[in-house]
């Protein structure tokens, strides 16, 4: 379950935008610190249920179900707070994303940021739909995301198997 939250936080990073658009970040640690703070405030604001939201990574679920609406808004909520999505238009602020990506020092995160920019550039969708499109793109194009999902699914299946054995 926590893995799913971290995964969702990663999607938000792929969409880094902020209500603190004017905030100037100096390093990767400041970005991650704010992202975690906004992750928890957005979970509270949107009344996120991690069990429900984790279903969005499963292909066999009907993602159009209304119960997923707040989940689709999770990434954009963080992005608007951190400055990578314009709060008014709901469009990704790709310049801010690139600016923040340049502060990354972890090679895995640097590669993922470049990959997301190359494959997930989206000028069409806005607000929550843009967040959902970013999630779908990351599931298709990000090896880091694929690895996290694979691990999460294996853990979830093992947990369900163990519950069935009891």
Mean pLDDT of 111-136: 91
* Domains observed in the chain: 2-165 (1.10.238)
Chain segment 5-46, per-residue pLDDT in tens? 444 454 444 444 334 456 789 999 999 999 999 999 999 999
| pLDDT exceeds cutoff 70 at 2 | no
For residue 157, what pLDDT band results from cuts at 50, 70 and 90?
A: confident
Report helix, strand or coil for 122: coil
Task: Using the predicted structure, report yes or no on whether residue 165 has a pLDDT greater than 80.
Answer: no
Q: Evaluate whether 82 touches 31 at the Cβ level (below 8 Å).
A: yes
Q: What is the pLDDT of residues 96-110, one digit of tens each?
A: 988 999 999 999 989
127: left (phi over 0), alpha (psi -120 to 50) or beta: left
């Amino acid at each position: 379950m926590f893995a799913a939250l971290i995964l969702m936080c990663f999607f938000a990073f792929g969409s880094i935008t902020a209500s603190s658009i004017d905030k100037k970040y100096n390093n990767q640690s400041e970005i991650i610190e704010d992202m975690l703070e906004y992750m928890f405030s957005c979970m509270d604001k949107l009344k996120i249920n991690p069990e429900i939201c984790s279903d969005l990574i499963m292909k066999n679920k009907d993602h159009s179900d209304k119960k997923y609406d707040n989940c689709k808004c999770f990434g954009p909520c963080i992005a608007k707070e951190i400055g990578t999505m314009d709060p008014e238009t709901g469009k990704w602020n790709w310049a801010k994303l690139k600016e923040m990506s340049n502060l990354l020092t972890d090679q895995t995160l640097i590669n993922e940021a470049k990959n997301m920019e190359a494959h997930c550039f989206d000028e069409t969708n806005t607000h929550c739909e843009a967040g959902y499109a970013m999630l779908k793109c990351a599931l298709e194009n990000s090896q880091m995301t694929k690895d996290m999902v694979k691990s999460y699914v294996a853990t979830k299946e093992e947990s369900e198997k163990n519950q069935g054995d009891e």
